[in-house]
Chain A
Amino acid sequence: MNLRRRLASTLLAAALLAPLVLTACGTPVMLSQQPDLNGPTPLPPDADQVEVFSWWTGGGEAAGLDAMIAVFNRKYPDIIFINAAVAGGAGTNARAVLSTRLQSGNPPDSWQGHAGQELIGTYVKAGQLEPLNFLYEKNGWLWVMPKNLIPLISQDGKIYCVPVNIHRSNVLWYNPAILEKYNIPVPKTMDDWFAAMDALKAAGMKYPLALGEQWTVMHLMETVLLSVLGHEQYARLWTGELDWEGDEVRVALELFSKLLTYANSDAPSLSWQDASQLVTNGDAAFNVMGDWAEGYYKELKMTPHQDFGWTPVPGTAGTFQFLSDSFVLPVEAPHREAAIAWLTLAGSKEGQDAFNPVKGSIPARNDADRSLYDEYLQSAMNDWITNKIVGSLTHGVVANDSWKTDINTALGLFLANKDIAVFQRELGRACMTSGPCVQGKGQHAH
């Protein structure tokens, strides 16, 4: 064979291969952080074990999981606990690994997921999860968890997960010293809030509202929607009963758009932690973030009421916009009984009180031991029991992953062109392609 021709064909093969190899390398995070697709070394099949899959690999989350595992080992000494946690990207990597395992018919015994549509829209729709009503009845959880939480984690009357912790997303964090200096009261309504920020702008603070990368903007948007629409109308957005292209949503989006003019121009380059710090550093006065920000402030050795203060996002007092990490029971769980033992613990007072004080969140149950929790968490526990409960969009409660991705794209385009009419049209379209909306205005799908 001609050497040159051979060389040419090698080159050809290399050239055709190169793009594929390089495309594969385009997702280095996912590839490098899959420790073991098949889970840990399998024990003999008759050994009693439970493999629990999560993305809790660092910080308070991992410590909380360890605390819960310790309780589990004490209560179920005969069951070997296998911690199959996958690191990285708020669960993005873990979810990719999980879907590979599910598609190859090798599910873990239980896995972590955001309670609500993120689980239901993906796994229940694919027939992967077993309803857990029997566990709720057996353990009396229906009596100790808020009544209006249950519909948000159910589909057609079937409950599909056990929420371990609760976070609140509609919290406004502020810098008390700055508000005091300019004699500005803590805002209670949207009007108060704009007045406060106008006063700060007049006093020379260019960007009174701290904002980070795009998901934190979506987080702000969901709280503004809640504030303007109220909890009932907000809930109807997600059932397809309230028109995304209607006037109510437009008013909310106009206020949201106005809020963005008060935010720092370098938002896309900041993480949520950076944005939280702008408030305590005095570069900004306000930040809307979930209550994990409190855990971050504590890590920074900040003092409540002095370095940072909190209040519900203006106009949302009395409503608790929640998100939750929860565990599920797969239909094909290899060790069903052991998985049920794990879920029983995850929903128990003992398990939740072991996990939450360490993680910096509150239990889903209303009978927790309050003395274990700090001042902010105690106030959140009060609100959890007394407030109306609605779900978070950004953190997977009210919209499935496809719908959320579509909303995220619409929001990204809006941030670039600031066109509210186009934004509303795209939101309406997203609800039709991936949500419960059907053709025609604001029809109910069910």
Chain B
Amino acid sequence: MRINRKEAWQSFLLVAPSVALIAVFVYGFIGWTARVSLSEWKGLLPDYTWAGFSNFAELLADPRFMIDVRNTVLFTVFFVGGSLALGLGLAICLDQGLRGEGIFRAIYLFPMALSFIVTGVVWRWLMNPAMGSRLSGLNLLFHNLGLDFLINEWHTTPFWGIIAIALPAVWQMSGFCVAMYLAGLRAIPDELIESARVDGASEFQVYSTIVLPILRPVTFSSMIILGHMSLKVFDLIMAVGGKQIPLDVPAMYMWQVTFEGLFYGKGAAIGLLLLLSVAVLIIPYIIYTLRGETEL
């Protein structure tokens, strides 16, 4: 189809404002952040003295930043892995022609409507780490059920505490995975599964060799969406655990170091590393999507 000159002009006019705004407010500010991250700016007033990569070098030698990286990795593995596994499991259950499926779908999807702050506050109460006579929340429930061995310190557990933060995140986002997987499952033609069964495949074989491979793109998309949320997590940790170093993540460090400590250069460097880590995740996905679409 050929587009006439007038139409091309009109469409250019229509996109121009958003292109200009994005150029300034997104890419312009990314550039500015990059410039600040290479500066010595510390204190209230801007200071663009060239510092080279010293802010980055400092971060790589910074034990707190190492904790941040470790926490991000642990959180991502447990949050993304947990949401995918739970989502797939529940989706398969729902796909068995359960009565009242709609109700269950709604129940699983509801937590997504909450903000992480709300989820965090609720789970802060549930995961109260108090011991002895002040036992409460889930720990008290375990105690009353006679399951005392399950009582634990949740997010105040040394080293592994960050995994407790992944629990509410899984609770909130697994419903999203259910919806994604359910849509994927519904798209698989019944004939395919029927014929496999006729050929004598066990239920396990049906899922492991037919269903799961077909669902791979769903898994991939969900991983990307959950993954970039996980890399930037801030509000949930703030709401559950507050500002404490065992639960520190890069976004938290950036906020504290910039707005409480006034180390603008260092804060910008953390922000840039955060952007890079997300880009590492997203860009292959975009390339994959683009290639997929041209091949169609």
Which residues of A approach B to under 8 Å, CB–CB?
1, 4-5, 7-8, 11-13, 15-20, 22-23, 25-28, 30, 92, 95-96, 99, 102-103, 122-123, 125-128, 206, 213-214, 264-269, 283, 401-402, 404-406, 408-409, 412-413, 415-416, 434
**A402–B44 CB distance below 8 A:** no
A20 to B26, CA, bound (A): 7
**A28–B262 CB distance below 8 A:** no
Q: Return the contact of B153 from the options A19, A265, A283, A404 (Cβ within 8 A).
A: A265
**B117–A269 CB distance below 8 A:** no
Q: Return the contact of B242 from the options A5, A123, A128, A268 (Cβ within 8 A).
A: A268
Q: Which 9 A-B pairs have the closest CB atoms?
A: A405-B261, A412-B245, A126-B44, A26-B234, A266-B129, A19-B278, A266-B130, A126-B45, A268-B244
**A122–B262 CB distance below 8 A:** yes
**A405–B245 CB distance below 8 A:** no
**B243–A213 CB distance below 8 A:** yes
Residues of A within 8 Å of B279, CB to CB, are 19
Q: Which of B80-88, B90-98, B168-176, B288-296 participates in binding chain A?
A: B288-296
Q: Which of B101-109, B178-186, B200-208, B250-258 participates in binding chain A?
A: B250-258
Chain B residue at smallest Cβ distance from A426: B63
**A13–B235 CB distance below 8 A:** no
Chain B residue at smallest Cβ distance from A411: B245
What are 11 A-B contacts defined by CB distance under 8 Å?
Answer: A4-B294, A16-B26, A19-B228, A122-B44, A206-B131, A214-B243, A265-B153, A269-B128, A269-B242, A402-B43, A416-B245
Chain A CB count within 10 A is highest, among B29, B117, B242, B296, for B242
A102 to B132, CA, bound (A): 50
**A416–B153 CB distance below 8 A:** no
A366 to B42, CA, bound (A): 38
**B257–A405 CB distance below 8 A:** yes
**A401–B131 CB distance below 8 A:** no
Q: A8-B290, A15-B285, A15-B286 are in contact. Are A265 and B129 (CB under 8 A)?
A: yes
Residues of A within 8 Å of B278, CB to CB, are 19
A88 CB to nearest chain B CB (Å): 13
B58 CB to nearest chain A CB (Å): 9
A272 to B249, CA, bound (A): 24
**A17–B26 CB distance below 8 A:** yes
A20 CB to nearest chain B CB (Å): 6
**B3–A402 CB distance below 8 A:** no
B27 CB to nearest chain A CB (Å): 9
Question: Within 8 Å of chain A (Cβ to Cβ): is B158?
Answer: yes
B123 CB to nearest chain A CB (Å): 11
**A125–B242 CB distance below 8 A:** no
**A269–B232 CB distance below 8 A:** no
Question: Within 8 Å of chain A (Cβ to Cβ): is B35?
Answer: no
A260 to B276, CA, bound (A): 39
Instruction: Mark out the residues of chain B between 28 and 43 whose CB falls within 8 Å of any chain A CB in the assembled complex.
Output: 29-30, 42-43
Q: Return the contact of B261 from the options A283, A401, A416 (Cβ within 8 A).
A: A401
**A412–B248 CB distance below 8 A:** yes
Chain A residue at smallest Cβ distance from B58: A433
**B67–A416 CB distance below 8 A:** yes
A206 to B232, CA, bound (A): 38
**A402–B42 CB distance below 8 A:** yes
**A122–B43 CB distance below 8 A:** yes
Question: Within 8 Å of chain A (Cβ to Cβ): is B274?
Answer: yes
Question: Within 8 Å of chain A (Cβ to Cβ): is B156?
Answer: yes
Residues of A within 8 Å of B259, CB to CB, are 30, 92, 95-96
Residues of A within 8 Å of B128, CB to CB, are 266, 269
**A125–B44 CB distance below 8 A:** yes
A267 CB to nearest chain B CB (Å): 8
- Taking A122-B44, A123-B44 as known contacts, 5 extra A-B pairs with beta carbons closer than 8 A to each other, sorted by chain A number, are A16-B26, A127-B45, A266-B156, A412-B244, A415-B244
B46 CB to nearest chain A CB (Å): 8
Q: Return the contact of B296 from the options A4, A26, A126 (Cβ within 8 A).
A: A4
A128 to B293, CA, bound (A): 57
Q: Return the contact of B158 from the options A95, A401, A416 (Cβ within 8 A).
A: A416
**B241–A269 CB distance below 8 A:** yes
B121 CB to nearest chain A CB (Å): 12
A301 CB to nearest chain B CB (Å): 21
A11 to B283, CA, bound (A): 11
**A206–B3 CB distance below 8 A:** no
**B129–A15 CB distance below 8 A:** no
Residues of A within 8 Å of B11, CB to CB, are 1
A266 to B134, CA, bound (A): 10
Residues of A within 8 Å of B155, CB to CB, are 268-269
Chain A residue at smallest Cβ distance from B46: A103
A206 to B131, CA, bound (A): 10
A268 to B240, CA, bound (A): 10
**A18–B228 CB distance below 8 A:** yes
A413 to B62, CA, bound (A): 11
Q: A28-B235, A402-B43, A405-B256 are in contact. Are A11 and B132 (CB under 8 A)?
A: no
Question: Within 8 Å of chain A (Cβ to Cβ): is B133?
Answer: yes
**B286–A11 CB distance below 8 A:** yes
A127 to B44, CA, bound (A): 10
A27 to B267, CA, bound (A): 14
Chain A residue at smallest Cβ distance from B263: A402
**A401–B244 CB distance below 8 A:** no
B230 CB to nearest chain A CB (Å): 11
Chain B residue at smallest Cβ distance from A215: B243
Q: A13-B22, A15-B282, A402-B43 are in contact. Are A415 and B262 (CB under 8 A)?
A: no
**A401–B133 CB distance below 8 A:** no
Chain B residue at smallest Cβ distance from A271: B242
Question: Within 8 Å of chain A (Cβ to Cβ): is B190?
Answer: no
A269 to B240, CA, bound (A): 8
Chain B residue at smallest Cβ distance from A274: B130
A352 to B65, CA, bound (A): 45
**B289–A8 CB distance below 8 A:** yes
